[in-house]
A and B are shown apart, each in its own frame.
Chain A
Amino acid sequence: MTPQVLGTLVRRHGDFDAAEDAVQEALLAAALHWPRDGVPQKPRGWLIQTAERRLIDQLRSEQSRRSRESLALLQEAPTQEVSDQDDTLIVLFMCCHPALTAASAIALTLRAVGGLTTAEIANAFLVDEATMAQRISRAKQRIKASGVPFRMPTREEQTARLRTVLHVLYLIFNEGYASSTGGELQRTELSDEAIRLTRMVQRMLPDDGEVAGLLALMLLIDARRPARTDPAGELIPLAEQDRTLWDRALITEGVALINRAIGNGAVGEYQLQAAIAAVHDRAPRADDTDWPQILALYGLLEQMTGNPVVTLNRAVAAAMAEGPSAGLALLDAVGERLAGHYRLDAVRAHLLEMAGDTKGALAHYRAAATRTTSLPEQRYLAAQAARLNLEATGDDASRLRR
């Protein structure tokens, strides 16, 4: 309810920062009054009215203090009624403002649209509450300073802004992705929140292929969450995951979404990624994976993005579809652009191992493990190196015995 109250106020009065303060005060008032007097018949109306009164008081007192600026803003009553959904969407589009860095847009979105408290957001991002409060307030100041009015963007603006909105939602999902073990539960909530918000955007823009693509991607990836880490929190690669643990309902929904989207208009990045995730999710066993199709999809994605990391995935798909030497040849082609990137070493190690070159694989797993900045990846890569080391020294021992 809070984003809708906030949205209404900001639409009417234009001041995001002041509106948020007023909503906070109204919520506080509700916490005091409702338990005593009972919940009003129209709680949202009550909140809007209370918050609006505070906001006007606040704006007036500022006005008399500064004795400038006209009251025009306050008198400009909304002419047409806008739905609550639209209000929430306005707030979301506002939070994903081009003047903001991704980190600020994420924090602001979670605060204003996601309804998380500053403490919860701070907790999820492992910084203290004061730091996060500072980030959020700076983000609001930036929006204010940018002078872009707070209103539903025009159709053209919407198209441009939507890309940022989707990116921010994707990043929020991303933040919650890796952790599924106790103690880091707050972070998993971020994935849930990202899915909830993306669902909302999808309901409002049901014909947009990329919105559907992003939602499908999130659902198809999230479906694997129960199988992705072992009880100790260690990563389990896709091929070794227990697929019976995957969430069937999410997969069904995601596959249906992506099938509908991909036949409908221009194909985008999120749709392609979702289509790839769908191919994996549809295979009952890793051996049943349709690698030629994945290879073709990565080819399209590579053309669209030019991202060398996509090429790494294509190399793995090529190795699976056509044998390790096809994959290794692709790696040689992309090597220059990714020199020193641990992910290149990780893939090379994997493909060399497939090709039977244990020694080469070991060296590249080691190199990858020393360069990654992700703890779960590092543990995984170091374990691979240790396993190959054992095999290699074991081989030496058996040769010596011979």
Chain B
Amino acid sequence: MTRYMLVGNLDGGVVEKPMEEWKPEEITAHLDYYKALRKELISSGERVQAEVLAGPDLAKIVTSDGLTAPVVTDGPFQEFKEWLAGYQIVDVESEARAIEIAAKLSAVPGPGGVAIQQPIQVRQVMDQAPSNVAEMEGFLQQVGGEH
């Protein structure tokens, strides 16, 4: 099993219209789709964690040199569409399955029931363990210090 983080930005894909202007039944269909997907991933035992983030209006940017008081400023410093909207972590058998789930996320229905085609980043989570003991032992032999 490999963990992948599926990341979506505040990028509505092909939909320009903000959600406040959607019809109520379109919003319901949109949310029901996410709910059904969530249920599917819980029952398949693949869902590890999912979070939706509060909007960039509430975001703070923190920088620090570790010595003086940190500098805290309000955002946004980037385009609205480039802010992280939320993520989920799935633990799946293959990259193909992670892509399949990402595709479902991207195809969430928007106004008129059309898939919004939101871009979803599929990022593999780094492992602490090797994929295979023999390979790791091999690795420790291979990189072995003839220096």
A residues whose Cβ falls under 8 Å from a Cβ of B: 101, 103, 125-128, 130-132, 134-135, 138, 170, 173-179, 184, 187, 221, 228, 235-240, 273, 277, 280, 286, 309, 312-313, 316, 343, 346-347, 350, 353-354, 373-378, 380-381, 384, 387
List residues 91-117 of chain B with CB under 8 A from any CB of chain A. Answer: 91, 93
User: For chains A and B in complex, what number of residue pairs have CB atoms within 8 angstroms?
Assistant: 124
Which chain B residues border A138 with CB–CB below 8 Å? 43-45
User: Would you call B71 an interface residue if the criterion is a C-beta within 8 Å of the partner chain's C-beta atoms?
Assistant: no
A selection of 5 A-B contacts at a CB cut-off of 8 Å is A178-B136, A237-B141, A240-B144, A377-B139, A378-B126
Q: Choose one: A176, A177, A239, A312; the contact of B144 (CB below 8 Å).
A: A239
- CB pair A131–B145 under 8 Å, yes or no, is no
Q: State whether A177 and B133 are in contact (beta carbons under 8 Å apart), knowing that A138-B45, A375-B126, A376-B128 are contacts in the complex.
A: yes
Q: How many Å from the CB of B45 to the closest CB on chain A?
A: 4
Q: Which residue in chain B gives the minimum CB-CB distance to A387?
A: B147
Closest 8 CB pairs of A and B: A239-B144, A135-B45, A134-B45, A178-B129, A237-B144, A240-B145, A174-B133, A239-B145
State A68–B128 Cα separation when bound (angstroms): 50
Q: Which residue in chain A gives the minimum CB-CB distance to B91?
A: A127
Q: How many Å from the CB of A363 to the closest CB on chain B?
A: 16
State A131–B41 Cα separation when bound (angstroms): 9
What is the number of residues of chain B that contact chain A, defined by CB distance less than 8 Å?
36
User: Would you call B124 an interface residue if the criterion is a C-beta within 8 Å of the partner chain's C-beta atoms?
Assistant: yes
Q: How many Å from the CB of A47 to the closest CB on chain B?
A: 29
Q: How many Å from the CB of A229 to the closest CB on chain B?
A: 10
Which chain B residues border A343 with CB–CB below 8 Å? 135, 138-139, 142
- CB pair A346–B129 under 8 Å, yes or no, is no
State A43–B95 Cα separation when bound (angstroms): 48
Most chain A CB within 10 A, of B3, B134, B136, is at B134
Q: Which residue in chain A gives the minimum CB-CB distance to B45?
A: A135
- With A103-B1, A184-B128 given, name 10 new contacts (CB 8 A): A125-B91, A128-B49, A130-B42, A135-B45, A173-B133, A177-B129, A239-B141, A373-B127, A380-B143, A387-B147
Q: Choose one: A187, A237, A375; the contact of B140 (CB below 8 Å).
A: A237
Q: State whether A312 and B43 are in contact (beta carbons under 8 Å apart), knowing that A174-B129, A277-B137, A373-B124 are contacts in the complex.
A: no
User: Would you call B59 an interface residue if the criterion is a C-beta within 8 Å of the partner chain's C-beta atoms?
Assistant: no
Q: State whether A177 and B130 are in contact (beta carbons under 8 Å apart), knowing that A134-B42, A312-B138 are contacts in the complex.
A: yes
Q: Which residue in chain B gives the minimum CB-CB distance to A235?
A: B140
User: Would you call B132 an interface residue if the criterion is a C-beta within 8 Å of the partner chain's C-beta atoms?
Assistant: yes
Q: Which residue in chain A gives the minimum CB-CB distance to B138?
A: A313
- CB pair B140–A228 under 8 Å, yes or no, is yes
Q: Which residue in chain A gives the minimum CB-CB distance to B46?
A: A131
Which chain A residues border B146 with CB–CB below 8 Å? 239, 350, 353-354
State A132–B44 Cα separation when bound (angstroms): 10
- CB pair A177–B142 under 8 Å, yes or no, is no
Q: How many Å from the CB of B143 to the closest CB on chain A?
A: 5
